[in-house]
Structure 1
C-alpha cells in the first residue's frame, strides 16, 4: 500500500519494525518536506515488497560502483522524477536511507547519498569507506550524511 509522507505529523507507518523507527520517520519526513518545498512533489513510499525494481536499481548501482551490499533489510522505497532528475530512495530497517539522484541530462549530476537516522551507528559496509557530515533537522534531529558520484550509466 502506498503511503504519502506527511511532514507536518511525523508517523512511523511502515517503519515499525526498525529499532530506529521514530528517527527514521523523521528522516523520511525531512525528505518529504524538501521535495514538497523545492518541487511541489508529494513524497510517497511503498513497502519494499512492492518496490522490488527500485530496490534492485539502487542495489545494482551500489554494487557496481563501489562493491557495497547493504546488510539491513529494506522496509520502504520510492522512485519518481522531478524536472529532469530521476530519484530513488530506499529506507532500511537499521535506520539507513539511501538515495540515488540521477540526472537524465548528459553531463548532469548523478550521485548516491547515504543518511543515517539520529542515534544509529554507521553500518559496517559504509564505515571504512565514507566520512559522514552532520546536519541538524527539526524533523529528524541530527542527520549524518555522505555521498559518492556515479560514474557509469544506469
Structure 2
C-alpha cells in the first residue's frame, strides 16, 4: 500500500530494516520536499514487493547501461510522471537511493542518479563513480553521482 512521504515530520516507516534507517528516511524526505517545491507533486512510495515493476525497470537500466547489479535489498520504490518527465526511485536497505530521470520528449535529459545516505559506505558496485557532497537539513550530508542514459527505455 502506497504512503505519502511527509517531509515535515521525517518517519522511518517502511525503512526500519535498514541499518541507516534514520538517514535513509531523511534522504527520502529530502526528495519529497524537492518534488513538492519544484513540481507541486506529492511524493508517495510503496514497498518494493508491491512496486516490482519499478524495481525491475531501474535494475534493467543499471544492468544494460553499465552492467551494474545493486547487491542491497530494495525496500521501497515509486514511479511517476510530472512535467513530461518520468521518474523512478528505489530505496535500498544499505541506505542507497537510485533514481531514473527520463524525459519523454526526444533529446531531453535522461540519467540515473545515485544518492548515499549519511554514514553509508560506497557500495562496491558503485566504486567507479565520483561522489559529490551536498548538505541537507533533512538528510545530513548526501553524496551523489549520476550517469547519462544512452538507450531508450
The TM-score bracket by the shorter chain reads over 0.9
Map of 1:102 onto structure 2: 102
Map of 2:41 onto structure 1: 41
Using the size of structure 2 for normalisation, the TM-score is 1.00
What stretches of structure 1 move > 4 A for 4+ residues in a row?
none
List gaps (5 residues or longer) in structure 1: none
Report SS of the residue matched to 2:49. helix
Rounded Cα–Cα distance in structure 2 between residues aligned with 1:132 and 1:83: 27
Length, aligned pairs only: 153
Map of 2:79 onto structure 1: 79
Map of 2:152 onto structure 1: 153
Rounded Cα–Cα distance in structure 2 between residues aligned with 1:146 and 1:93: 19
RMSD: 0.3
Rounded Cα–Cα distance in structure 1 between residues aligned with 2:131 and 2:100: 17
CA offset at residue 41 of structure 1?
0.3
Rounded Cα–Cα distance in structure 1 between residues aligned with 2:126 and 2:3: 29
Map of 1:116 onto structure 2: 116
Rounded Cα–Cα distance in structure 2 between residues aligned with 1:102 and 1:46: 20
Report SS of the residue matched to 1:32. helix
CA offset at residue 3 of structure 1?
1.1
